[in-house]
Amino acid sequence: MAEHRHAHWQEIGQIAAGVGRTSSGVIFKDLNADGRTDYLCLNPDGSVDAWLNTGAAQWAEQGRITNGIGEAGLGDVLTFADASGDGRDDYLAITSDGAVYAWLTVGAYGMKL
């Protein structure tokens, strides 16, 4: 029988206290290309609230970083990925037929729509 080892994971415990959103609305993406994933809350209307990861389980609140595209917006799926290749994750809306609309990151930490 194979021995189960946990050599690649070190438990550090809770890293974020939560902000009152359900887990389905919380995602982690790197907004400012510093190599650390930031804490994002995607709201039902597509707006996004963000906290930048400052290291050592510390989060700097950024507030609402985008108003979004609306609950009945063009995207069935809203997500973040680096579409421009600059190292910062961009705001993407994916429609039911697979078309993708993008809003690229601009500014000091992320995007503004």
Q: What is the full DSSP assignment across 76-110?
A: SEEEEE-SSSSSSPEEEEE-TTS-EEEE--BTTTB
| Confidence band of 42 (pLDDT split at 50, 70, 90) | confident
pLDDT at 72: 46
d(CA 31, CA 1): 44
Q: Does residue 6 carry a pLDDT above 70?
A: no
Q: Does residue 38 carry a pLDDT above 80?
A: yes
Cβ burial 31-53 (10 Å sphere, 16+ → b, else e): bbeeeeebbbbbbeebbbbbbbb
Q: Does the model's pTM come out above 0.85? A: no
d(CA 30, CA 73): 24
Distance between alpha carbon 40 and the CA centroid of its chain, in Å? 4
In this predicted model, what pLDDT tens digit does every residue of 43-93 receive, in sequence order? 888 888 999 999 877 899 999 988 877 654 556 788 889 998 988 888 888
Output the CA angle 29-32-37, nearest 5 degrees. 30
For residue 25, the SS3 value is helix
pLDDT at 51: 92
